[in-house]
Structure 1
Amino acid sequence: MTNVSSFSPIHVIGGGLAGSEAAWQIASAGVPVILHEMRGVRPTEAHRTDGLAELVCSNSFRSDDATANAVGVIHAEMRLAGSLIMACADKNQVPAGGALAVDRDGFSNAVTQALHQHPLITVVREEVSGLPPRDWDLAIIATGPLTSPDLAAAIQAETGEDSLAFFDAIAPIVHRDSIDMDICWYQSRYDKVGPGGTGKDYINCPLDEAQYNAFIDALIAGDTVGFHEWEGTPYFDGCLPIEIMAARGRETLRHGPMKPMGLTNAHNPSVKAHAVVQLRQDNALGTLYNMVGFQTKLKYGSQAEIFRMIPGLQNAEFARLGGLHRNTYIHSPVLLDPSLTLKSRPGLRFAGQITGCEGYVESASIGLLAGRFAAAERKGEPVVLPPATTALGSLLGHITGGHLVTDEEPGKRSFQPMNINFGLFPELEPGSIVKPEGVKRFRGKDKAIVKRQLIASRALAACKDWLTGQ
């Protein structure tokens, strides 16, 4: 067996979710890794701490249902692959209905501690302002959506591509003891019980029609942060500011983050709310709750005034108000090969949100793959891609090639940030979906559920085979 000390280190730039996971996978394969993180030396516009894998937006890893939800499937596959991010999320989960949500500080502290304690991982606090030097023969850039301007410019110069950017907004966090529970009540939508939950994991604030309309008017009229040099930068729909949604149509929010379906007011069960604002537990102590889907670019003064119009939040005290930052990603289908390596520079991989995936677990999963691929290359082993039928493989395929070249712009591809979803998975074999015995009508929603279940079970079986080398 080759002694691990004979391996030169692999360098990972960026200590977010993707970089942390990549470093862990490399070290777990017996290869030394140097993890470079600039926070602690240079802050970003969105992070609060210098902790590794800090969550700057929601504290939710979304659905943990591995039987019929694509996000839950990728959770399960990452756990099978020994993911540090998932292990720390599981240890720091807080109640969130059918979702996996975490105590954000406890989660980051757990990741930071694990990486610092691993004997093959060295964490260096420094800014890497350009592409890795040539003597870093294997490196991973996982600097995320807040890549520093100097490094972004170096990447752009190397690739010859215009970098893409979009705005990302952060939701406010409220002190639990400032919420009026004589108006609000605890309930998960449809009383759904999730990991660590009870079916009563959200605080719900009801609005009648007049209150809803007044709130919408205030949102639309609210004073927002200016675009400045970011003028013309688009939003990503998965993190759209609430005031932008309100401006798209008066009923938009009532059919989005403020939908009342599946909720019954415990104080007045016979009266159906016109709209409902939900708050989700943000820390293990249960002292902080974040406003679900309420990412915003309203100015701080406007935020406090407008959000206190919500019944139950009239005396709300905010631990953090919402904010705005810019995300950046590269044209991965054009620039990267199937193993996430930059085509113009062998040995240099990209991982995480900078590749054009969207979401915490998606970013971490691409870090997981980049780390495993780099470790295999260092050890002289073949780089084996996950099957396309797995969640990991389908997301990798989306990033590195699953896009059409347009007639209008030859050579360009229709590439946008994407969460994992069943639309990225290959179709089932014809005849796979069979009507259950005793069921007379089998179509629509019932058939779709069975299809998702089959895709999920196929994915997990294929992932196990991939990990065991079968």
Structure 2
Amino acid sequence: MSRMTQINIIGGGLAGSEAAFQLAEAGMTVVLHEMRPVRTTEAHKTDGLAELVCSNSFRSDDAQNSAVGLIHQELRDMGSLIMEAADRNQVPAGGALAVDRDGFSAVVTERLSQHPNITISREEVTKLPQTMAIVATGPLTSKALAAEIAALTGADALAFFDAIAPIVYRESVDMDVAWFQSRYDKPGPGGTGADYLNCPMSRDQYEAFIDALIASDRVPFKGFEDTPYFDGCLPIEVMAERGRETLRHGPMKPVGLTNPRDPQVKPYAIVQLRQDNALGTLYNMVGFQTKLRYGAQGDVFRMIPGLEKAEFARLGGLHRNTYIESPRLLDPTLRLKASPNLRFAGQVTGCEGYVEATATGMLAARFAAAEMTGAALVPPPATTALGALLGHITGGHLTEEAAEAGKPRSYQPMNVNFGLFPELDETAKRGRRGARKQARKVAYCERAREDFAAWRAGAPPSADVADAKDTVTA
């Protein structure tokens, strides 16, 4: 029986770009549809593929005790284009993997544009295809296509608000106040131990800053007052409203840092800025996503010591993200139950984060390639980072009773984390009380690496991973 070899991918973000590359490398003919620059979004600034919007950080790159670092490594092992581009454009960020935005996007755009199996179509897609396709339109899916999805599924898309942090010109930071240091002097894979700019605050300065944050003028929701925030990306002024000490225990925590100009006095709070481009001319205000109006941002953020004369390459912003109720709408291979020719990938599925979006693009492409060629593919074990994330998206978070009743718990965007992984056995749980949490992380990662290697080698899944027993065939 002849098999299909052509597939459409809608959306040129991280998920769509990864999916296009994986399918093209597998010998498929790919048409990648990206609406920019024909139609822009409220968050994007360029027409480059895989443009990074909210941050330039892929978060921790530590695969020994971090869930996100683990998924980095799994993606690298599977030949991820996104991880290749990130590694080639890495900028110092301590233990995190941060990248030069423009260089990163340029690598992805060039690789896909020059691939002989990929055609890039610059147009807005307003109708869902009847042929094989992957929908990777991201959290900023156009209204027309969102309406198509809602009509097909019989369910309205859910939504949440996401915020963007400001970017400061490095030359405008007062280096008589600020200093370079990574928290605990941690160098990380691409850093030196002195990768962040640190701006210290006394208690009085911090209290005045909190007062100004809470009182400042903000961008209204424009009729979407009931739309929730994603808890992993709360506007800084919303965090301040949740408690005056919240920021000191979050993005402004002073631990692991020492002011070299006054080492005996511990700052009450510290604002960190992370390098945003390879030249080192732009720095991102870490954790300072905001919905303050532009004028208010300048007034409030220039209250921070060292940023009194700050010049902003980009101010923060707010946009509405949409995602589908994936556990109810998608099958275990990311196919839309109402229309199995369609797969969904990226943040529109309700995963959160750059690498999580990339992972779903990778998985959707691998599943699609298997189906199109008639091959069999065992999904990654739930004990791996890829498998744990897939389980969350496609229903692994449901209780049996809820699944049978067709009533999933509230589905919210989520980063990969160890809470999505199956529990460890009792031996792995043991350890000294003070070291138990760290030991558990290490145990999760060790188990994941073993099961991932076995999965890649085609070995049977672990006995405790029921989700990995089914194969995917055409």
| TM-score in terms of structure 1 length | 0.95
- 2: distance between equivalents of 1:40 and 1:250? 42
Q: Report deviation, 1:453.
A: 1.0
Cα distance change of structure 1 residues 225 and 434 upon mapping to structure 2, 3 Å threshold: closer
Q: Is 1:149 equivalent to 2:143 in the alignment?
A: yes
Alignment partner of 1:412 is 2:404: no
* Matches of 2:344 and 2:306, distance apart in 1: 45
2:153 is matched with 159
What does residue 34 of structure 1 align with? 31
Q: Which letter maps to 1:425?
A: F
Q: What is aligned with 1:424?
A: 420
- The separation in 2 between residues aligned to 1:15 and 1:450, in whole angstroms, is 39
Are 2:23 and 1:56 equivalent residues in the alignment? no
Are residues 1:258 and 2:247 paired?
Answer: no
Give the C-alpha shift of residue 410 in structure 1. 5.3
SS in 2 for 1:204: strand
The 2-side partners of 1:56 and 1:14 are apart by 15
* Alignment size in residue pairs: 456
Q: Secondary structure at the match of 1:427?
A: coil
The corresponding residue for 1:289 is 283
Q: Partner residue of 1:205?
A: 199
The amino acid of 1:25's aligned partner reads Q
In structure 2, C-alpha distance between the alignment counterparts of 1:127 and 1:115, rounded to whole Å: 19
- 87, 93, 96: which one pairs with 2:93? 96
Check the 8 A contact 2:202/2:267 in 1, yes or no. Answer: yes
Among residues 450, 453, 457, which one is paired with 1:468 in the alignment? 457
How much has 1:245 moved relative to structure 2?
A: 0.7
The verdict on how the C-alpha distance between 1:468 and 1:123 changes in structure 2, with shifts beyond 3 A counting, is farther
Mapped to 2, the partners of 1:381 and 1:457 lie a distance apart of 30
Give CA deviations for 1:285-308 in whole Å, capped at 9, x if unaligned: 000000000000000000011100
Is the contact between residue 339 and residue 383 of structure 1 (CA under 8 Å) also seen in structure 2? no
In the TM superposition, what is the alpha-carbon distance from 1:113 to its structure 2 partner?
0.5
- Indicate the residue corresponding to 2:447 in structure 1: 458
Q: Is the 8 A contact 2:217 2:296 kept in 1?
A: yes
Does the 8 Å contact 1:373/1:384 carry over to 2? no
Structure 2 stretches lacking a partner, 5+ long: 460-474
Answer whether contact 1:246 1:252 (CA < 8 A) is retained: yes
Structure 1 segments of 4 or more deviating over 6 A?
Answer: none
Please name the residue that 1:400 is paired with.
Answer: 394
Task: Show the counterpart of 2:215.
Answer: 221
2:12 is matched with 15
Secondary structure at the counterpart of residue 286 of structure 1? coil
Q: Which residue of 1 aligns with 2:361?
A: 367
The answer to whether the 8 A contact 1:7-1:32 is kept is no
CA contact (8 A) 2:175 2:306 kept: yes
Q: Give the whole-Å Cα distance in 1 for the aligned partners of 2:425 and 2:242.
A: 40
The answer as to whether partners of 1:205 and 1:311 remain within 8 angstroms in 2 is yes
How far apart are residue 430 of structure 1 and its match?
Answer: 2.9
Name the residue aligned to 1:448: 437
**Structure 1 portions without partners, runs of 5+:** 436-441
Amino acid paired to 1:421: N
- Aligned twin of 1:439: none
The structure 1 residue matched to 2:344, chosen from 343, 350, 369, is: 350
Equivalent in 39, 43, 46 of residue 40 of structure 2: 43
Residue equivalent to 2:273: 279
Q: Residue in 1 aligned with 2:467?
A: none
Separation in 2, partners of 1:346, 1:58: 34
Q: Which amino acid aligns with 2:278?
A: A
Secondary structure of the residue aligned to 1:319 is strand
CA distance in 2, matches of 1:201, 1:168: 26
Q: Counterpart amino acid of 1:368? A: M
Tell me if the contact between 1:351 and 1:367 (Cα under 8 Å) persists in the aligned partners.
Answer: yes
- Supply the RMSD in Å over aligned alpha carbons: 1.6
Q: Matched residue of 1:165: which SS?
A: strand
Structure 1 residues 218, 427: CA separation in 2 closer, same or farther (over 3 Å shift)? same
Please, which of 166, 176, 182 is the counterpart of residue 188 of structure 1? 182
Residues 177 and 306, structure 2, Cα contact 8 Å, conserved in 1: yes
Q: Is the 8 A contact 2:166 2:288 kept in 1?
A: yes
CA distance in structure 2 between the partners assigned to 1:85 and 1:64 by the alignment: 14
**Aligned with residue 106 of structure 2, among 91, 106, 109:** 109
Q: Which residue of structure 2 lines up, in the alignment, with residue 438 of structure 1?
A: none
% identity of equivalent residues: 68
The Cα shift of 1:283 comes to 0.2
Matches of 1:221 and 1:468, distance apart in 2: 58
Q: Secondary structure at the match of 1:144?
A: coil
- Does residue 67 (structure 1) correspond to residue 56 (structure 2)? The answer is no
Q: Contact 1:404 / 1:413 at 8 angstroms: preserved in 2?
A: yes
CA deviations over 1:89-137 (Å, ceiling 9, x no partner):
00000000110000011001111111111111111111111211x2x2x
The one-letter code matched in structure 2 to 1:467 is R
